[in-house]
Structure 1
């Protein structure tokens, strides 16, 4: 037995603890391929402070610059009191947000966020401009490096610059799409705020209405967006053509990607209000089918279920206020009912959407029941699914790591299964090429055994609330057949579960194409350029192996590609990518158009390898 005495007890200071257990403070680490990776949480923690200044009426503009490994944020608020500049970024439980009068409805209430950014950055500089004076403090990994004070002519405010630590966030890079989405959400929730990001201006006039317009194809909306605002609450909603439900929810400006008490109350209130308005006891699923909604509320001292604040746990809107459920219900009941009475055309279009959903549900009721019974029996001995022990909905510190790999064939799934982390990584094995489901109704999800089993493995039949894995990773061979299977699976998700893609849960696994090695070192390469650079680095005549399929990679090697160095490519949907048109073009029956596109855009690369080698030399 190991010795257990006074010498075994250790006390860490704040920066040591944050660096030892970063997941407690910022969730998962990641490399920037997921919207909730740690590098975006670091950015958000700094911007949140500037947003709080705006909310308090100090400063209407925020300047943000993001390069590959450096972030700068400058606001024009009151500026940190000069005597406290060092303390507020390096002393836990120090900050202005403990004074409830100064920050009544702030997001960050525990004084940890900025300190976490400081501790997890190789270079962190905070500068406060206040009444003609400025103080600049620089840190490295939480340790104070320099501190000076001098005169300035700059406007009041605070500037923070940091570089995330590459030893913690390995191979990271900021994806501009994710940063832009974050910034759009900030301006949607703060009318009158202007954010300048990398030279581009972001501003919103109509709040959540603008948010939905940015995320919805206008042609798919069944009726104009219903936009309602009250004291400390704002909602926007419409119905589209897609399957499932889609929600954007916020608390005090924080994007609660996992929902919480306010989103649950919103879903409940919409059903209740619509039933009473039409005086008919519609099935809740028919009312909410194809809904696209957004809700933002402000509460005092919000309680989130984790430091990353992705799910609201608060039951009340304030120490002496009503419950969140009552607050949201009362607002929706009056405001939505009034709106539908005033807008009969919208009320009629909404009714038609509900009745259509009702017909579609009844049409597949019989086969859905049989399919679910088959899936229930199969789940006991489901050879397609090798499950993991922790799931996304669990209250576990590793829940954000939960991943389902969708593989082609038994050889690939065998390699992943043998090398995976059984706590957080599951494997679902496809049999050959899945069905091209473009243009088909959701009935096919139940008629096709493979799709039905996948749907049940993910637990998304009734929406994303029960999603069992945070990351759904399509893992196919790096050949033509593998690419085709990848497209077929993406079509499945985009056709029937687009909210899964929009919420940032779907990825493509990047696996190495080459292994270059000598007796001393092995380098795995993901492109021709990396292969040529590896040859140059190793020198001589290294052994070069080309991986065609995942099954060719040994389990011992595969473990390196699905661990902390895993490379994932997110499937990102933007308003510019009009979903129906994209699917129609690539997966529809317009073969001549696609053939013409291929012929006109075909590139022939001659002696590409020789060019790369010469360039490397």
Structure 2
């Protein structure tokens, strides 16, 4: 028997808890990433620690949580009951150890499987946990999950609670960088779901008085709302909803036991059904479901006993039961929406009238589009059989059971040379390429009709599978890969306009990025450095002896596939496209993409930088 086929006791290996987590981190925290995406592992580490402090608040212990992120060190301090001192080490280093197994203590908590803080400990180069209770404090320090220090002492002057500090391990996350915008978004969701809770982040205070109503106010500008937000709540359920005057798609923010279920699940599906059923019955008309839900912006939060999630990162609910004596998730949500939303519409006839007008308008637009949509779908179907624009990959975001589905990426490139370089150097399992033939159309101010009439937009929509919303989005990361010249910048702007105009949720949910590619290659006979700025170029030139060769890349097509593999592999640099609270999509598009205005000309003149200014800055 050859060595390749032998299978003996020597092949069997048992890993201890931390080895297993470090060898297979994706099982515990999803994708690793570098901090450029909201679902990257470093944010899941913060979430896992924060979830325990939130559960303390839910149990009535501690109204404030303090968080700091400085120099890549994270600290989370709560003023709850504190971990029982005899179990401080076990709780963060022994699998299947935790208070959440005692359903009396934590009936509807987030962290149910006792894995969270162990994963944080194992994936951190430094991890410290401190518990204060009964006028005593116990501290345990770890490195890569190994206990290096343990001490206990009196602490009569300290407020009770727990403090966890950690530094993500660069062996696991080589190029990570925390982006405060993502941490703030996570914190805001926690305070919306826990009215009365105060979270301090790097000295700034976050608090909510009106729950999901505040969340919607954060996500939709006042001028975009069709009517004031409907906000309804009872034990174990809270909903908020309105319609957007300008957005085409549906937008949902869903939560279970305080966990943001970014991929929805049984509760979100039930909520969508319940809205359709209630509105049909209220108006006594069999409106099409898509017309009722078009442009809706809403949020739902439910509490379930022993929820079943489809992954450790808890982004999709699989439970069908509420737990205890309660009915199924579907029946529970349906009954609540039917009773409370129906009552609200009877009491607020003006809101009901606006909803009806919106539905009738949506029906009219859908019928006008139906002929064009049919032709466009047939064209897309034919094109997908021999689509020269799309070089697809094997694994997609919708492949729930595939471990690396979160890595699925679509690069949108310009021209044959650039797409050729990426296509030859990409990972065919998770990276797809969509090639534009030139500058796309400026879609600002155009109706959805153009998405079907314009072949390029239609094929891009089909490749992403986002015609009816982003629930079926095929790629987790949509990356605009254009040259860093004026034409490349213009193409970026036109593509961002397309998404903002017709599919803003792609940006709101953190799926759209710009690929950062090197401007220079600096090399001598022994070493090669790829530099993304003049500063990096200067540093590389100082490191190499003599007169190194410096190449300025004018476009992506100039970078050979052998080199390109470095820029779209594990060292990929992505800049996320983000919207902040102050940004009104309508005003943003009008300013940058509308007809030339004196305001824009003035802005360009005031912000124009000449080459001399840029050199002085560097």
Shorter chain as normaliser: what TM range?
A: over 0.9
- Return the match for 1:353 from 336, 354, 358: 358
C-alpha distance in 2 between matches for 1:600 and 1:414: 39
Alpha-carbon separation, structure 2, partners of 1:242 and 1:27: 31
Is 1:155 matched with 2:127?
Answer: no
1:604 deviation in Å?
2.6
Residue 7 of structure 2 is aligned to residue 4 of structure 1? yes
TM-score (norm 1): 0.98
Aligned to 1:205: 209
Write the mapping of 1:255-266 to structure 2, written as runs, cut at 5 A.
255-266=260-271
In the alignment of these two chains, the number of paired residues is 612
Closer, same or farther: CA 363–14 of 1 in aligned 2, 3 Å: same
Structure 2 residue corresponding to 1:235, chosen from 239, 242, 253 = 239
Give 2:547's aligned residue. 541
Return the offset for 1:596: 2.7
Structure 1: 5+ residue stretches without partners: 613-617
Give the one of 293, 316, 320 matched to 2:321. Answer: 316
Instruction: Verify the 8 A CA contact 1:473 1:509 in the aligned structure 2.
Output: yes
1:296 to 297, 301, 315: 301
**Aligned residue in 2 for 1:72:** 75
Q: Does 1:484 align with 2:487?
A: no
State the alpha-carbon separation in 2 of the partners of residues 115 and 285 from structure 1.
Answer: 44
1:29-48 aligned at under 5 Å gives the runs 29-48=32-51
Out of 450, 455, 458, the residue aligned to residue 452 of structure 1 is 458
- C-alpha distance in structure 1 between counterparts of 2:616 and 2:167, whole Å: 37
Counterpart position of 2:250: 245
Classify the secondary structure of the residue corresponding to 2:612.
Answer: coil
1:611: Cα distance to partner? 7.9
**For the residues of structure 1 that align with 2:616 and 2:97, how far apart are their CA atoms?**
59
Listed as ranges, the gaps of 5+ residues in structure 2 are: none
Where does residue 337 of structure 2 map in the other structure?
332
1:465-524 CA deviation, whole Å, 9 max, x = no partner? 111111110000111000000000000000000011101111111011111111111111
Partner SS for 2:566? helix
Q: Do residues 51 (structure 1) and 51 (structure 2) align? A: no
- What secondary structure, in the 3-state scheme, does the structure 2 residue paired with 1:529 have? helix
Once the two structures are TM-superposed, the CA of residue 359 in structure 1 deviates from its matched residue by 1.2
Aligned residue in 1 for 2:63: 60
Q: What RMSD over aligned residues (CA atoms) do the two structures have, in Å? A: 1.1
Post-superposition offset of 1:608: 5.8
Find out whether 1:276 has 2:256 as its counterpart: no
2:561 paired with 1:555: yes
Q: Aligned partners of 1:356 and 1:540: how far apart in 2?
A: 70
Identify which of 79, 87, 92 aligns with 1:89.
92
Structure 1 pair 377/571, CA: closer, same or farther in 2 (3 Å)?
A: same
Aligned-residue offset at 1:111: 0.4
Does 2:408 correspond to 1:405? Answer: no
Contact 1:68 1:173 (C-alpha < 8 Å) held by counterparts:
no
Q: Secondary structure at the match of 1:270?
A: helix
TM-score by length of 2: 0.98
Distance apart, 1:319 and its partner CA = 5.0
User: 1:296 Cα shift?
Assistant: 0.2
TM-aligned CA distance change 1:235 to 1:132, over 3 Å = same
Q: Which deviates the most, 261-270 or 169-178?
A: 169-178
Q: SS of 1:561's equivalent? A: coil
- TM-aligned CA deviation for residue 610 of structure 1: 8.1
Look up the SS of the partner of 2:463 in the other structure.
helix
CA distance in 2: counterparts of 1:455 and 1:428, whole angstroms = 11
Q: How far apart are the structure 2 equivalents of 1:140 and 1:473?
A: 36
Distance in 2 (CA, whole Å) between partners of 1:510 and 1:320 is: 54
Deviations 1:4-52 (A, max 9, x none): 2211111110000100000000000000000000000000000000000
Match of 1:404, SS? strand
- The alignment status of 1:344 with 2:349, answered yes or no, reads yes
Q: Distance in 2 between matches of 1:515 and 1:214?
A: 43
Cα offset for 1:322? 1.7
Return the match for 1:370 from 372, 375, 387.
375
